[in-house]
Amino acid sequence: MKQMIFLLALSGYFSWADAQQGPISGGRHITIKLSPLKNTKIFLGSNYGNTLALFDSAYLNEKSEGVFQGPAKLTGGIYFLVTKDPNYAIIQGWDFLMDDEQQFNILADTSTMESTTITGSKENALYAQYSRYSTSQNKRIEKLIKEFKDSTSKKTKKDTANAIKEEAKLRDGVKQYQDSICNKYPDALLSALFNTMKRPPIKEIPTINGKKDSTYPFRYYKEHYWDDVNFADDRILHTPFFEAKLDEYFKNLVSIEADSIIKEVNYILLFARTGKEIFPFLLNKFTKQYMNPQYMGQDKVFVFLFENFYAKGDTTLLDAGNKKIVTERAYNLMANQIGLPAVPMNFVDTAGRPAPLYGLKSKFTFIVFWDPTCGHCKIEIPRLDSMYRAKWKAMGVSIYAVNINELELKAWKNFIIDNKLTGWVHAHETAAIQRATEKANQMNFRQAYDAKFTPTYYLLDEDKHIIAKKLSLEQFDEIMKLKMKK
């Protein structure tokens, strides 16, 4: 199976002759003989979260010998070999652990990976011992399942129960073996891998004071999900387990409400703070995810990250271009978070008369930023008017429509007349109002409402607090119906 591999950091490649010079003090020196590959370049790859990446390379001579060598150690984790031809293909079925010493030897053959030997590495010796045990257990499980399925004899309930019991016993044996390694070698890389892979057991529903507590299994599972996982351990980033487990946690165990996400994100980042690789990785992951989130209101998480991390010095983790993007995006979102009072807009109407946003007194205020030359607006604005006349007007909704294109005032007015957009407050910001806003050092409405695209919608409550934003008209309609019921 082909997978995309990204080249993160190649340190140059070394030949077998380099290996004869001996290990570099404090660095990595991993000799390899990989038959039958000859006179070719190979790469050393690993996971970087859910991404596969290359971190080093070596040249195999005519004897299939090469060396991965460099002045600095690679971050520990699970590593694999990649051939250059035809398309950076991973050598399947074989991987090894990058230990703390990184001074070991690999002898392997691509046709018989079971005969691979690694010498000079305690971590890989431990890993090989575990692999042999888990492989034997898995073969027994496969045999048990095959025999049970292939048998032509009629199965009794006792036969089924015994087969299930035997399979559970074999799987439990693997788990106990893993636990024994974690207890005996708590600082070993293999222990960190097992702890990252772990999931808490599913607990039965307890009875408390005669009542069953149906929420207990979920609470227990969530509370113990990260047991024994060290968020500051960069090594777990170089495994296929960590980011997948993180994604599973936020998908299944964390509410989509921004405040719930903020609590979890803050906890994880604070514990990962000392991680050289994992902290910037996590901060970047959460930033990208919540800068333009899947659900309305989750951009509050991004604003939290900016105010509590980036604004306190973590912009040093970004290059100049990304620093500008993150900072500008944060300032565009700060003033329009769900629950905040809407930023005042003291604009004028089509006749030049004052038409302030806060002058509207209604159950709901629906703000629309639009452009009379925008093709999408020409479709959506009449739809909005139909929704307003059919439902919203009777529900006590006022519409505050802002033309963002000061160069098309005539087209704006003509569109209003042609489409009979009556009953709305039509407003725009004059050049004088814009200059006054700049002179007062106040943010303009485009920044205050993140009105980059048209049309952009906001829904305010009676006190002009933001209820919802940037949804479809139908979604706004559903929200108002729910609010009216309450």
Residue 326 CB-density burial (10 A; 0-12 exposed, 13-18 middle, 19+ buried): buried
Could you tell me if 370 and 395 are in contact, meaning their C-beta atoms sit under 8 angstroms apart? Answer: no
Same fold for the domain at 5-121 and the one at 346-485? no
∠ at Cα 337 (331, 340), nearest 5°? 115
Residue 39 φ then ψ, to 5°? 50, 50
Is residue 397 classed as helix, strand or coil in its secondary structure? strand
Alpha-carbon distance of 190 to 200, in angstroms, equals: 19
> pLDDT at position 315, please?
75
Alpha carbons 76 and 58: distance in angstroms, whole number: 18
Measured between alpha carbons, how far is 71 from 48 in angstroms, rounded to an integer?
21
Strand pairing partners for 458?
367, 469
pLDDT at 423: 96
Residue 143 main-chain phi, psi, to 5 deg: -65, -40
Q: Where are the domains of the chain?
A: 5-121, 346-485
DSSP reduced 3-state for 178: helix
pLDDT tens, position by position, for the chain (486 residues)?
334 444 444 333 333 334 444 444 579 999 999 999 999 999 999 999 999 999 999 999 999 999 999 999 999 999 999 987 656 677 766 789 999 999 999 998 888 777 789 999 999 999 999 988 988 888 888 888 777 776 556 667 777 777 788 888 888 889 999 999 999 999 999 999 999 999 999 888 988 888 898 999 999 999 999 999 999 999 999 999 999 999 999 999 999 999 999 999 999 999 999 999 999 999 999 999 999 999 999 999 999 999 999 998 877 778 888 999 999 999 999 999 999 999 999 999 999 999 999 999 999 999 999 999 999 999 999 999 999 999 999 999 999 999 999 999 999 999 999 999 999 999 999 999 999 999 999 999 999 999 999 999 999 999 999 999 999 999 999 999 999 887
The residue behind tokens 């772990």 is 198
| pLDDT for 158 | 78
94 residue type, one letter: W
Domain 5-121, CATH among 2.30.30.180, 3.40.1160.10, 2.60.40.1120, 1.10.10.10: 2.60.40.1120
Tell me the C-alpha distance between 71 and 134, whole Å.
35
Residue 152 is predicted with a pLDDT of 55
Radius of gyration of the chain (CA): 31
pTM to 2 decimals?
0.86
Cβ atoms within 10 A of the Cβ of 435, count?
10
Most distant CA pair in the chain, distance: 91
CATH fold of 346-485 reads Glutaredoxin (3.40.30)
Q: What's the pLDDT score for residue 153?
A: 61
Ramachandran region, residue 429 (left: φ > 0; alpha: ψ -120 to 50; beta: rest): beta
| pLDDT for the residue 316 | 75
User: 3-class SS at 31?
Assistant: strand
- Mapped onto helix, strand or coil, the DSSP state of residue 56 is strand
Residues 83, 62: Cα–Cα separation, whole Å: 16
**pLDDT at residue 86, rounded to an integer:** 59
